Structure 1
Amino acid sequence: MEHTAKNTVIGFIGTGIMGNSMAGHLLGAGFPLHVYSRTKSKAEELLSRGAVWHESPASLAEQSNVIITMVGFPSDVEEIYLGDSGIINHAKPHSYLIDMTTSSPSLAQRIEKAAAEKGLFSLDAPVSGGDVGAREAKLSIMVGGLLETFDAMLPILNIMGSNVVYQGSAGAGQYTKMCNQIAIASNMMGVCEALAYAQKAGLDPNTVLKSIESGAAGSRSLSGLAPRIINGDYAPGFYVKHFIKDMNIALQSAKEMNLDLPSLSLARSLYERLVEMGEEDSGTQALFKVINRHSSS
């Protein structure tokens, strides 16, 4: 069955920096939207546009046939899906469950198994693109699960992202997101060190950026986050605490595969220093504070 606004009721759990914009696009596309978030105030804009508030994931699940989650940590995902009062125990048969949180590949596999036993269909569909990508509906969405489930949900995923790619069986979306985070971790160290170096050399970092962002060093991290660093803007497009969570997942799964990731280990240690400075709720670009402080000492 094609999922259109006429026959689909979407439940969205997690209306933070990313989720609020993503849910807003679904509402804008005409889908009836039910929402739940631990902090109701974060959903006020959606509620003002016609979304229906629920006091629990269970209540939301009972009223929806496509349920999307965008929460913080694997522990949140596990509780929301697999807990006694969670989605899987309360969703209507044949509902579709899409976890867009960056989480553990093995947890995605457990969720699919538990969902299938209840006659439900699940996808792990983490995203990349940050707050801007969510706001502009240009997220990269990497998807794991059954191909038939992916095909059924593709029209809905396309409303939130501009690059939706099927990666394989359950957990494949999360493994792909880890590849993304591994690449970003090293890149962010390079971006911050390049700006600290430019500063030490007495250069205008904005002028330096004009030269290097379109050359071989170019990246979305450089183009998108270096201007924020230069302007002293460390507001979160993606939280430091969530990035550390992702690096821990990647390092744990790499250990299970007997793979050494020295750059990722270094990046995690530097971000842990940033947390010690009280910056866990800052954006990932705040790593510059660690690099710059070290270079100034």
Structure 2
Amino acid sequence: MTLTEKKIGFIGTGVMGKSMALNLQRAGYFINIYTRTKEKADDLINQGAVWKESIKDLAAESDIIITMVGYPSDVEEVYFGESGILEHAKARSYIIDMTTSKPSLATEIFKQAKAKNIHALDAPVSGGDIGAQKGTLAIMIGGEEDAYEALLPLFKILGENIILQGPAGAGQHTKLANQITIASNMIGVCEAIMYAKRAGLDPIRVLESITTGAAGSWSLTNLGPRMIQGDFEPGFYVKHFIKDMTIALESAKEIGLDTPGLSLSLEMYKELAGHGDNDSGTQALIKLFEIQNL
């Protein structure tokens, strides 16, 4: 059976998961789908995805299973227990957790999968809703090289920067490094826009100058304009970024690393969530600066 003949089970059709599953459909893959709220999968079902009533049914009838859920607790729920993926996935199948989660959890999934002759990879992504839609995500992978090589054509449908970082858990560690970088950068983007406004400049013109220089970043280019326009629709939820930063801070402490920039960003995002922006996009952080600089 060739890779394109294998059935893909996809669990989680949120802001990013839905676009990722759709890209796989468009590439000709057969998709089984499950999510807690069936309505969220309607677009995929209308385009040919097959709805499964349970994780058990999806796992038993899929050759490759991709999960893109919200929190480590959700990962535990879909993988472990009598109704979980590990109990019902077929031998020699592939399981790929693309959720940003705990490295230790990725290692445990790999260990239990290995015992059942199931290939497991942790493969969190970066690039937000835009990257998911365009199939240009950065994919950071942990696991065995044979499984990585076997699934590389599939990953190339979802992303462009695809790197096997090391053994199980390495993908998650890499994603946490990514989130640590973004955490402090988001503060800088907000401060730069606020400074431009206070100095009487046109912030859009300022972005035109600084996005291509040493200050350039994905957040500055893609989220800076949304901040200026007051567009706070989620490409990535505040609540999920808080989750990621919390995991990163815990992981940093476990390896004896002090991360003051991460700590400050987490504190600010928690304050933002307290103002009712849990379900806003991460660019809503600028609202906190606007409140503080009235």
Aligned AA for 2:219? S
Task: Measure, in 2, the Cα distance between the counterparts of 1:130 and 1:194.
Answer: 22
Name which of 139, 142, 157 aligns with 2:137.
139
| Alignment correspondent of 1:47 | 45
Cα deviation per residue 1:224-256 (whole Å; 9 max; x = unaligned)? 001001110000000000000000110001000
After TM superposition, list the pairs within 5 Å mapping 1:233-272 onto structure 2: 233-272=231-270
Aligned AA for 1:173? G
Q: Are 2:74 and 1:71 aligned?
A: no
| Alignment correspondent of 1:123 | 121
After TM superposition, list the pairs within 5 Å mapping 1:1-297 onto structure 2: 3-6=2-5, 8-296=6-294
Cα deviation per residue 1:53-103 (whole Å; 9 max; x = unaligned)? 012111100110100000000000011011220000011111100000000
Task: Name stretches of at least 5 consecutive residues in structure 2 with no aligned partner.
Answer: none
Cα deviation per residue 1:126-145 (whole Å; 9 max; x = unaligned)? 00000000000000000000
1:55 partner SS? coil
Query: CA shift at 1:33, angstroms?
Result: 0.5
Cα deviation per residue 1:179-233 (whole Å; 9 max; x = unaligned)? 1000000000000011111111121111111111111111110000010011100
2:33 partner SS? strand
Cα deviation per residue 1:116-156 (whole Å; 9 max; x = unaligned)? 11111100000000000000000000000011111111111
Task: Measure, in 2, the Cα distance between the counterparts of 1:118 and 1:211.
Answer: 55
- Number of corresponding residues: 294
Cα deviation per residue 1:250-291 (whole Å; 9 max; x = unaligned)? 000100001000000000000000010000000000000111
Aligned AA for 2:218? R
Task: Name stretches of at least 5 consecutive residues in structure 1 with no aligned partner.
Answer: none
2:3 partner SS? coil
Task: Measure, in 2, the Cα distance between the counterparts of 1:260 and 1:159.
Answer: 37
Give the superposed CA RMSD: 0.8
Query: CA shift at 1:4, angstroms?
Result: 2.4
**TM-score normalised by structure 2 residue count:** 0.99
Q: Percent of pairs identical after alignment?
A: 59
Aligned AA for 1:5? T
Task: Measure, in 1, the Cα distance between the counterparts of 2:177 and 2:111.
Answer: 24
